Amino acid sequence: MTAKELKKILQDIISEMLKPILNENEFAFQKSSCSFVRNIGDFKQSVKFYFTPIRYSDDQSIGHLSIRIWLESDAIEETASTLVNAVSKLDKVDVVVNVDYGLITGNEAVIFYPNSISDLKEIFRTRIVPCMLNEIIPWLNTKTQMVALVNDYFDKKEYMNWSSSNAVALRIIAICFLLNDIITAKKIAYAEFTKPNTGVKYKNILHKLEKI
């Protein structure tokens, strides 16, 4: 199946099986991107579905389905970008958390390999819908305030491994700046940015903090 065909199938299944549930929790369905979005507290929260075509002839599935959870905040992203002296769009921080849902419900990324449309519907019915109701939505309901991410960082929650330790630390430091908690920002910077092979842009953050 082509990417376009897979997307249409996914859109139809999501509309039928997930849209009513997520609408009840104030998420708006963005059909073109197969995602659900809501603005709540300090964040824009998104649940994004990706259905990609198979690449190899011996792959018996119709495609590969993955789900990612995004947390976005203009304030955090702009502060983090300023901390690293971002001058180009490529350098700017454009998301606070972008994690595979498997790191929220467990300790590893999860990909589904349905072998038919009926199999895909069964995956939604038995795996994805219950997970949304019992795990993902409740988890997102606890991630409406910036301080929740700072606490999760120090508690070493699994989802904090969604990117490199330096990239994650940068975002948490930016949150600390916004919370006027410079002491915690310095604590994180000293712990993360004094490690061997730390990039210059991160070391520069440490130098900035030392002057405050």
The overall average pLDDT reported for the chain is 94
pLDDT interval class at 3 (50, 70, 90): confident
What pLDDT shows up at residue 131?
96
Q: Where are the alpha helices (DSSP H) in 18-164?
A: 19-24, 74-83, 102-105, 117-123, 129-131, 137-141, 146-154
Model confidence over 61-96: pLDDT tens digits?
Answer: 999 999 999 999 999 999 999 999 998 888 899 999
Residue 11 has pLDDT above 90, yes or no: yes
Cβ atoms of 72 and 41 closer than 8 Å: no
Residue 17 has pLDDT above 80, yes or no: yes
What pLDDT shows up at residue 126?
97
Model confidence over 117-158: pLDDT tens digits?
Answer: 999 999 999 999 999 999 999 999 999 999 999 999 999 999
Domain with 16, as residue range(s), is 3-210
Q: Which are the contacts of 37, defined by CB distance < 8 A and separation ≥ 6?
A: 27, 28, 30, 44, 45, 46
% the chain with pLDDT above 70: 100
The secondary element (H helix, E strand) that includes residue 205 is helix 200-210
Residue 211 has pLDDT above 90, yes or no: no
Residue 57 has pLDDT above 80, yes or no: no
pLDDT interval class at 210 (50, 70, 90): confident
Model confidence over 37-52: pLDDT tens digits?
Answer: 999 999 999 999 999 9
Q: The pTM is what?
A: 0.93
The secondary element (H helix, E strand) that includes residue 200 is helix 200-210
Phi, psi of 36 (to 5 degrees): -115, 135
Model confidence over 195-204: pLDDT tens digits?
Answer: 998 999 999 9
What pLDDT shows up at residue 168?
98
Distance CA 16, CA 121 (A): 10
Q: Which are the contacts of 29, defined by CB distance < 8 A and separation ≥ 6?
A: 14, 15, 19, 22, 23, 35, 36
Q: Please tell me whether residue 184 adopts helix, strand or coil conformation.
A: helix
What pLDDT shows up at residue 89?
85
Say how many C-beta atoms besides its own lie within 10 A of residue 169's C-beta: 21
What pLDDT shows up at residue 177?
96
- Count of domains forming the chain: 1
Contacts 24+ apart (CB under 8 A), 158-161: 158/103, 158/104, 158/106, 158/107, 159/97, 159/99, 159/103, 159/104, 161/103
